[in-house]
A and B are shown apart, each in its own frame.
Chain A
Amino acid sequence: MADQLYLENIDEFVTDQNKIVTYKWLSYTLGVHVNQAKQMLYDYVERKRKENSGAQLHVTYLVSGSLIQNGHSCHKVAVVREDKLEAVKSKLAVTASIHVYSIQKAMLKDSGPLFNTDYDILKSNLQNCSKFSAIHCAAAVPRAAVESSSSEKFEQSNLQVSSETPANNELTTNGHSPPTSKQIFQQPKGIMGMFASKAASKTQDANKETKTETKEVTNVFSTGNKAPGKGNVMSNFFGKAAMNKLKVNLDSEQAVKEEKIVEQPPVSVTEPKLAAPTGLKKSSKKAEPVKMQQKEKKRGKRVELSDDETKETENMKKKRRRIKLPESDSSEDEVIPDSPGDYEAESPSPPPPPPSPPPEPVPKTEPEPPSVKSSSGEKRKRKRVLKSKTFVDEEGCMVTEKVYESESCTDSEEELKMKTSSIHRPSTMTVKKEPKEERKGPKKGTAALGKANRQVSITGFFQRK
């Protein structure tokens, strides 16, 4: 019954599915010891040949034994076709073993397909490749099974060195190591060494590589359903660009791997633990987004995006504020529709209306209020303005100081700016150009301010003409 079953199976594989049945493939597929698989194959061949002498079966055998070659005896192991079997056997001094290696319907030209069959079945059974083998090694126990309980301890102890959060993450996922093995302590140190190097981009890339590599290791330690969450954890340190890539890798690896152990709660638990003992700023900052983003990737994405966005706009605002402070262009600014808030924040230019005698040319030009302004001076707000005040101090020197004053917009507008902008007040003038022209102002100094501001942009030339 059971005997007949395997015969039928082999028959089906060989004749119907046209597969190459190697002993290894059979052993994995039927879940039997390799020796038994070999015997099964032999049995099948014999029976088939007895029943049907015209059977279209090609068989390869494995022969091994000692061979005298160049005066040295060596142990030779060879896969030979049936027709060459006897020839090879006779060459060997001592024949150690012969058995059926594979059965297939068609004649094989080279060893490629044989190897590929074995390779494929091996790939899908990587974790227990020795299960059906004849030799069992007591020492060869995969670390994950042995050391998962002590993983948290090691994560903590391994966290001392690195200052970068990617390294920390590496440690948490790779920290499953037995105490006695030097090699594993080398591993975090090695990764540490990688991160100690200054090239941030390099470590980022190396990080990515090792991440995708160690994904396979970490997948042994994570469950399938936690994959998106895990991708999240990793993604924090990589940014959005790499996130998709990682997720894809993650998913494909999940499909391949069979074991599902140690799932994410330990990892997430350790993350906050991470924050506490190490006390690193970055890690503590990241720990919060990690907690936030455990649920869904999308949500995490959004959160991250919004974080980044706010940061960006803040920076922009800051920039604008800084640049616009010295000059005020409220009339033009008000016409431009976007970010009205900026205009409010933006202070009128520093040109002071100095009542003092103007030996300096700049202050002279500044106090004149342009006519254009009056038309657009709807907004009246009091705000603090950086203005330059010119006065004569004790020693009789003219001093110009920039002083914060509280003024209303309309009054303290910059005349220079106004003049130039009145000349070329293109409708195309956007907010972006504002910072540009205003940036030029303070840089070149108040003397040159007027001239610099004539050119709003590179195309300013053409517009005038």
Chain B
Amino acid sequence: MFSEQAAQRAHTLLSPPSANNATFARVPVSSYTNSSQPFRLGERSFSRQYAHIYATRLLQMRPFLVSRAKQRWGGGVQVKKLCELQPGEKCCVVGTLFKAMPLQPSILREISEEHNLLPQPPRSKYIHPDDELVLEDELQRIRLEGDVDASRLVTGTVLAVLGSARDSGKFVVEDHCFAELAPQKPAPPLDTDRFVLLVSGLGLGGGGGESLLGTQLLVDVVTGQLGDEGEQCSAAHVSRVILAGNLLSHNTQSRDSINKAKYLTKKTQAASVEAVRMLDEILLQLSASVPVDVMPGEFDPTNYTLPQQPLHPCMFPLATAYSTLQLVTNPYQATIDGVRFLGTSGQNVSDIFRYSSMEDHLEILEWTLRVRHISPTAPDTL
């Protein structure tokens, strides 16, 4: 659509210069509200237990799940807590899922390195046919069996299962359901075409030796320097650019300086310093022309656990002069021109990928929507 629009105007640039050159005004942002306040951490305390997170999660999801279960299996189905279960009785239970994975890397095994045992090599997927599912609610937990695909589900999902308890203490599942999608608000109509550009994985500081021409071309297209008039006109319709993580490359993360001797590393800078400087220049060019939101990613200099806090503005002295630059948290939520955007830099999807058999990232993303939780594995493995 972008290209077709762009192609509609006549090609004028392969011709002798003309005096009049069109400049286009960037579409003004009609409305923008940043709703990612919940992701900002106030003070950091490292003494919190995860149990509270799970308890809150269950508490909030319970009503949705109950209504969904009733919808699916009929209003007459009984919703019970685990402690009220009678053997042989068919009922529905709502709880958080826990998947016991023998291959999951655990901190205890890492500590065993001290005893000269081999650490577990990193794998791409940690699933195993022997994984077991356990359903936990506020007070109890019970093993699940039956018609539930353990490989697809991950720890932390809240779901409702329909089945009956056996004498052996396991719960045989006949069916299960998630909270599914919430009702959508209709998007308000727009007067002109507006585009939001999502950029991710710029990978600066990669040190690969290749020049940044590709990135520069992108910036030029967005800022309206490249391309013919048609393209520039279309580019003017880009109302926002969201840089979604991994702005720095994986190579900047090298921790050699910890392993090397001090005298070798004394005068060297971290690779990320140079990369951040390049990023600053790119951001300067972009923010001089379009509102930009910068989200941190896996390799960016901010905290590691989700929610990642915004990058610090002092890293971008040139670009922060422009108010169009916004540094935002990692799960980022905003309403841009009436459309609600919620996104992450991908760590949650790759985490789910590692612990379930789902292969397609888009499928995983859709699944998180169905489960109504961006990142069910969050406190556990993320």
When distances are taken between beta carbons in the complex, the residues of chain B under 8 Å from A98 are: 11, 13-14, 228
Given the complex, which residues of A lie within 8 Å of B230, measured CB to CB? Answer: 96-97
Which residues from A are CB-within-8-Å of B212?
115, 119
Are B290 and A137 closer than 8 Å at their CB atoms?
A: yes
18 A–B contacts from the bound complex (CB under 8 Å) = A3-B17, A24-B220, A43-B15, A46-B16, A64-B3, A64-B226, A94-B3, A115-B213, A130-B223, A130-B289, A135-B24, A135-B26, A137-B291, A143-B322, A144-B321, A178-B323, A184-B320, A217-B317
Q: Which of B203-226 contact A (CB under 8 A)?
A: 210-213, 216-218, 220-221, 223-226
Q: In the complex the two chains form, is A110's CB within 8 Å of B16's CB?
A: no
Q: A140-B291, A190-B313 are in contact. List 4 more A-B contacts (CB 8 A).
A: A138-B26, A143-B321, A190-B312, A214-B314
Least CB distance, B362 to chain A, in whole angstroms: 12
Provide the bound-state CA to CA distance between A133 and B285, in Å.
11
Q: Which of B227-243 contact A (CB under 8 A)?
A: 227-232, 234-236
Q: Are B2 and A140 in contact (CB under 8 A)?
A: no
- Check A140–B324 contact: CB distance below 8 A: yes
Chain B nearest CB from A234 CB (Å) reads: 15
Q: Of all chain A residues, which has the CB nearest B237? A: A135
Report B-chain residues with C-beta under 8 Å of the C-beta of A94: 3-4, 7
Given contacts A42-B13, A190-B312, contact A133 B289 (CB under 8 A): yes
CB–CB A42/B15 < 8 A: yes
The answer to whether the Cβ of B49 comes within 8 Å of any Cβ in the partner chain is no
Which residues from chain A contact B232 at a C-beta distance below 8 Å? 35, 134-135
B13 CB to closest chain A CB (Å) equals 4
- Chain A nearest CB, measured from B272 CB (Å): 12
A42 contacts B229, CB within 8 Å? no
Q: How far is the CB of B273 from chain A (nearest CB, A)?
A: 9
Question: What does the 1/0 interface line of A31-69 toward B look like (CB < 8 Å)?
Answer: 001111011101100100000000000000010111000
Q: Report the bound CA distance from A46 to B16 in whole Å.
A: 9
Asked if A220 is at the interface of the complex by the 8 Å CB criterion, the answer is yes
CA–CA, A79 to B221, complex, Å? 12
Q: Which residues in A have their C-beta under 8 angstroms from that of B315?
A: 213
B131 interfacial contact with A, CB 8 Å: no
The residue that A220 contacts in the complex, of B18, B210, B290, B321, with Cβ under 8 A, is B321
Chain A residue nearest in CB terms to B324: A140
- The residues of A with any CB-CB pair to B shorter than 8 Å are 3, 6, 23-24, 27, 33-36, 38-40, 42-43, 46, 62, 64-66, 73, 75, 77, 79, 93-100, 110-112, 114-116, 118-119, 122-123, 126, 129-130, 132-144, 178, 181, 183-184, 186-187, 190-191, 210, 213-217, 220
Q: Are A97 and B213 in contact (CB under 8 A)?
A: no
**How close is A267's CB to chain B, nearest CB, in angstroms?**
17
Residue pair A66, B288 in contact (C-beta under 8 Å)? no
**In whole angstroms, what is the CA distance A141 to B4 when docked?**
31
A140 to B216, CA, bound (A): 19
Residue of A nearest to B2 (CB): A75
B318 beta carbon closer than 8 Å to chain A: yes
Closest B residue, CB atoms, query A113: B211
- Asked whether any CB of chain A lies closer than 8 Å to the CB of B28, the reply is yes
**Closest CB in chain A relative to B370 CB, distance in Å:** 24
Which residues of B sit under 8 angstroms from A96, Cβ to Cβ?
Answer: 3, 6-7, 227-228, 230-231, 234
Residues of A within 8 A of B220 (CB): 24
Residue in A24, A123, A138, A181 whose beta carbon sits within 8 Å of that of B281 in the complex? A123
Using known A-B contacts A114-B213, A130-B289, A213-B317, determine if residue A136 contacts B7 with beta carbons closer than 8 Å. no
B22 at the interface (CB under 8 A from A): yes
Cα separation A97 to B6 with both chains bound (whole Å): 8
Q: Do A142 and B289 touch (CB < 8 A)?
A: no
User: A135, B235: Cβ atoms under 8 Å?
Assistant: yes
The answer to whether B317 and A77 touch across the interface, beta carbons within 8 angstroms, is no
**Interchain CA distance A122-B216 in the complex, whole Å:** 11
* Complex Cα gap A141–B288 (Å): 7
Whole-angstrom distance between the alpha carbons of A35 and B287 in the complex?
A: 21
Q: How far is the CB of A76 from chain B (nearest CB, A)?
A: 9
Is A42's CB under 8 angstroms from B28's CB? Answer: no
Inter-chain contact A66/B228, CB cutoff 8 Å: no
**Interface pair A216/B318, CB less than 8 Å apart:** yes
- Measured in the bound complex, the distance between the Cα atoms of B324 and A191 in whole Å is 21
Please, which residues of chain A bring their CB within 8 A of the CB of B22?
A: 35, 134
Q: Is B29's CB within 8 Å of the partner chain A?
A: yes
**Contact status A43-B6, CB under 8 Å:** no
- Does chain A have a CB within 8 A of B25? yes
Would A115 and B216 be within 8 Å (CB), given that A96-B6, A137-B324, A141-B322 are in contact?
A: yes
Query: Does B284 make an interface contact (CB < 8 A)?
Result: yes
Interchain CB contact under 8 A, B11 and A35: no
Residues of B within 8 A of A97 (CB): 6-7, 11, 13, 226-231
Residue of A64, A112, A138, A215 near B231 (CB, 8 A) is: A64
Distance in angstroms from B115 CB to nearest chain A CB is 34
Residue of B221, B226, B281, B322 near A122 (CB, 8 A) is B281
**How many Å from the CB of B176 to the closest CB on chain A?**
33
Task: Give the docked Cα–Cα distance between A96 and B287 (Å).
Answer: 25
Q: Is the CB of B322 within 8 A of A65?
A: no
| A215 closest partner in B (C-beta) | B317
Tell whether B95 is near chain A: CB-to-CB under 8 Å.
no
Closest residue of chain A to B223 (Cβ to Cβ) is: A133
Q: Report the separation of the CA atoms of residues A35 and B210 in the bound assembly, to the nearest whole angstrom.
A: 28
Q: Is B326 an interface residue (CB 8 A)?
A: yes
Quick one: which of B16, B211, B231 contacts A111, CB cutoff 8 A? Answer: B211
Give me the 3 closest cross-chain CB pairs, A-B, nearest first: A97-B228, A135-B224, A66-B3
User: Which residues of chain B (310-361) have a CB below 8 Å from chain A?
Assistant: 310, 312-315, 317-318, 320-327
Looking at the assembled complex, report how far the CB atom of B236 sits from the nearest CB atom of chain A, in whole angstroms. Answer: 5
Name the distance in Å between A192's Cβ and chain B's nearest Cβ.
Answer: 12
* B21 sits at the interface (CB 8 A): yes
In contact, A140 and B290 (Cβ under 8 angstroms): yes
A6 to B321, CA, bound (A): 34
Contacts of A38 in B (CB 8 A): 13
Considering the chains assembled together, what is the distance between the CA atoms of A96 and B12 in angstroms? Answer: 11
Q: Are B4 and A133 in contact (CB under 8 A)?
A: no
Interchain nearest-CB distance for B292 vs A (Å): 10
Q: How far is the CB of A44 from chain B (nearest CB, A)?
A: 10
In Å, the complex CA distance between A399 and B238 comes to: 92
B23 within 8 A of A: yes
For B217, list chain A residues within 8 Å (CB): 77, 79
Of the listed residues B22, B25, B225, the one surrounded by the most CB atoms of chain A closer than 10 A to its CB is B225
A129 to B222 Cα, complex, angstroms: 13
Verify B21–A134 contact, CB threshold 8 A. yes
Residues of chain B lying within 8 A (CB to CB) of residue A79: 213, 217
> Which B residues from 263 to 301 make CB contacts under 8 A with A?
281, 284-285, 287-291
Cβ of A66 to closest chain B Cβ, rounded Å? 3
